[in-house]
Chain A
Amino acid sequence: MIQIAASPVTDGIMTVLQVDTLLYIGLGILVGMLVGAFPGVTATMAVALASGFTLTLEPIQGLAVLLTIYVAAQFGDRVPAILINTPGTPASISTTFDGYPLALKGQAGLALTTSAFGSAFGMLFGILILAVAAVPLSEFARQFGPPEMFALVVFGLTMMVGVSSGRVLKGLAAGAFGLLLATVGRDPITGDARFTLNVLELNGGVPFIPVIIGFFGVAEVLNQILTRRRHLHHVKPVTQLGQWMPGRKLMQRLFKPMGIGAVTGSVVGLVPAVGGDIAGIIAWDNARKVSKHPEEFGKGSLEGLTAGDTSSTATLGGSVTTTMALGVPGDSVMAVMIGSMMIWGIQPGPSLFSSRPDLVSSLVTIMLIATILTLGLSLLRMRGMVKLLELPSHYLWVIILIFCMVGTYSINNSVFDVFMMMIFGAVGLFMLRFGFPAGPAVLGLILGPLAEANLRRALITDGWASVFTSPIALVLLAISVAALVVPPLRVQLKRRKAVGAGADQAKVSS
């Protein structure tokens, strides 16, 4: 019995411990740390781009690349946040609160190392959640038929409020736009063409990876080009790095914020569609409340730095768990990864872990190796990263745009996809300039077809009765209603406070 139970686990580990898979992990680390360190290039975009190149790999190798990029980007993005007060990816927004003040105080080296330790701790904690909770959660999720899936996706759609960055009405408008895009293509039940405008390619629906690359990559670059003047007075990178390793006494002081960050991040990570940016800010605020030195927060507190960084990486384990076990993206990076996995024949969702029991241990092994190697690399080579930031932004823009196009074309060898990317880049620019968050639109585009198809499947089998006789579906729908009717006011308040503190901090430092 033990033999039978143990074999998928060891199988899963062994698939990862192959020379070629390890090489792909190494590749992922390099790419991830680089994109993390480039402000403006998010982990979402890097994974979306890389997925175009990894589709022809074996699933485990492909996952090794994509997951490792995801993991490594969480380390790399701290560097510019600490050194030039610019988050490398949104997940390190909270890093800027205390990291940059520390750097100004000549403690950049210490900030970089404690940040890396905190990130690694958060990652390991999240991986533990994945290893422990994935199978039980997926056993529960096996009871999810079309009615339950519909209710779950509705709950996922309510996250549009959460990813609206406080702009709820504009967020919902963007979400509705995403849902509208999701109706393009062949009807999932009858096969009739809808809004295809006689464009052959649109029969397959609006391709979401080009849309994501357009929204996040192209729109961001275009926006930076347009607002260039504002950045003329670029803050000079801090070259004085100071002390590197934290002392033992300091480490002991950091255990509490690390613990707070790990728990906060894991819980936030399990919730679909919410990522490290929000988790970092919430944990930063939680740590401040229980700290003996709350006055240091925002002025260069190592506690605040580690709490935020631990939390934003701890979301990864939870995100991966949710994504794999429920088939609902845990955050925007996982939303992109779901697309790749489906092409590899891995269908994230309730039946995944029963059909592929070895996958959990493979995922855990990939993430463990990636975390440990990235931590090592971070401690060794942080100094080299600083050089890359000195690249003038107009070179960066061109590089990013070329990568966007090559990456998009390579998904399907399709020029149509490149056009879609550029169109949605322009749409994304419009949204960015007028304050419409792109997150809800992507959420709508990805979850819309799932909601529609599952609802209609449920209606075919037993009408509305099939939805309202399912306890799971009812509970989920009730939670969804609560999420909308009782807006998370407290979270909003906390975030506003945190952002306010960050802004004050920026004012003080400039």
Chain B
Amino acid sequence: MKTLLKSLAVGTAGLLALTGCASGSNGSSEADFPAQDIRLTVPWAAGGSGDLTARTIAPLLEKELGVEVIVENKPGANGSVAYNWLKDQKPDGYNLSMMGVEVATLQFQDYDIDPSNYAPIGQGLAGPGAIAVPVDSPYKSLKDLVADAKANPGKVTYSSPGVGSVWDSPAQGLQELAGIELTSVPFDGSAPAVAAAAAGDVDFSIDAIGTQKNQVDAGKLRYLAMLTEERDPKNPDVPTAKEEGIDLQNASWVGIMAPAGTPEEVVSKLSDAMGKAVEDAEYKKVIEGSNLVPTFKDAEAMKAFLDEEADRYGPWIKLAQGK
């Protein structure tokens, strides 16, 4: 009898707790957001720069929002495992995911990822790109490289972090703009791709300035041109590709997004909090320490940017696949 009473009591308490939770999340209007912990999913494995961004920004978001922000890695299949998972979550702002350019580009590679399923919150950083050659390369400028590629179509090789990746695509853009034909040698990620160029296995590397920096500092690589609008303040002697007659810019980036249908009020609250976090000195220190640039775009700018990226990359990826 005693045990029966006991289990009844425990059961009732449990039920009460459950209904309490339920009413808590149902009843909360968008005005009270956030009323519970937020889950921030990372679509990449622990350890990369995207993961680092999430782990750096989470405590700063906690400070702004007053609730816990729990970081959880869900890597797999170029990030599409996490993106697919997020699409199916309730659009209430409590489930978020980090995002990269793949949200815009996976759709061109037979993945079932549609950017319109997501509500971007904001951008957190950028990794502007550069073209770098081995130190003993005969190319003294981007013009030399282009001229050689024109004279020997298909003979000039470059290393990329993989087909359709954020750095293979602008290489397609380079070929299109300069009217040249290059040969892509895809590697499994940026680190081995840049290392291959440093070892002289390929003629040049196209990747983020910060990723190439270690090999440039080690005296193995030399920057040829920056894929930025303005010259890089840290490398004022290196011209931009635009100065060399090729109007090409590209940067990798990391942002945060929610499922589509998340109330605007919630999105803007999250976006404001993210904006403040990106301005934080602690955040800047970590991001700049990994040779990346803290950059913020708000939800609205990010939505437009995502569409632009899809428009920009789509033809490039088609071009690469056509080869």
Contacts and interface: CB of A to CB of B under 8 A. Distances in A.
B47 A344 contact: yes
Contact of B191 (A59, A186, A347, A412): A347
B109 A413 contact: no
A203 B218 contact: no
Given A55-B47, A193-B110, A200-B80, A188 B186 contact: yes
B46 interface: yes
Interface residues of A, number: 34
B45 interface: yes
B183 A413 contact: no
Given A203-B80, A204-B77, A460 B185 contact: yes
Contacts of A189: 163, 186
Find the residue from A345, A349, A413, A453 having the highest chain B CB count within 10 A.
A413
A294 to B, nearest CB: 51
A460 B195 contact: no
A413 B74 contact: yes
B187 interface: yes
A460 B183 CA distance: 8
B76 interface: yes
Given A355-B214, A414-B74, A461-B202, A55 B195 contact: no
B319 to A, nearest CB: 13
A56 B202 contact: no
Contacts of A416: 76
Interface in A127-151: 142, 145-146
B76 A201 contact: yes
B183 A461 contact: yes
A190 interface: yes
Interface string B153-185: 000010000111000000000000000000111
Given A204-B76, A204-B78, A413-B73, A355 B45 contact: no
Interface extent on B, as a size class? 35 or more
A191 B109 contact: yes
Contacts of A347: 191-192, 195
Find the residue from B48, B80, B195, B214 having the highest chain A CB count within 10 A.
B195
Given A203-B77, A412-B75, A414-B74, A343 B202 contact: no
A256 interface: no
A354 interface: yes
Q: What are the 7 A-B residue pairs with the smallest beta carbon separation, nearest first?
A: A191-B163, A203-B77, A145-B201, A55-B46, A351-B195, A204-B77, A56-B46
Interface of B: 45-48, 72-78, 80-81, 84, 109-112, 157, 162-164, 183-188, 191-192, 195-196, 198-202, 214, 218, 321
Given A145-B199, A191-B109, A347-B192, 10 more contacts: A55-B46, A142-B199, A191-B186, A200-B81, A200-B84, A345-B47, A347-B195, A413-B72, A414-B74, A460-B183
24 contacts: A55-B45, A56-B46, A145-B200, A189-B163, A189-B186, A191-B164, A200-B76, A200-B112, A203-B77, A203-B80, A204-B76, A204-B78, A345-B191, A349-B192, A351-B195, A351-B199, A355-B195, A355-B218, A412-B73, A413-B74, A414-B74, A414-B76, A461-B185, A461-B202
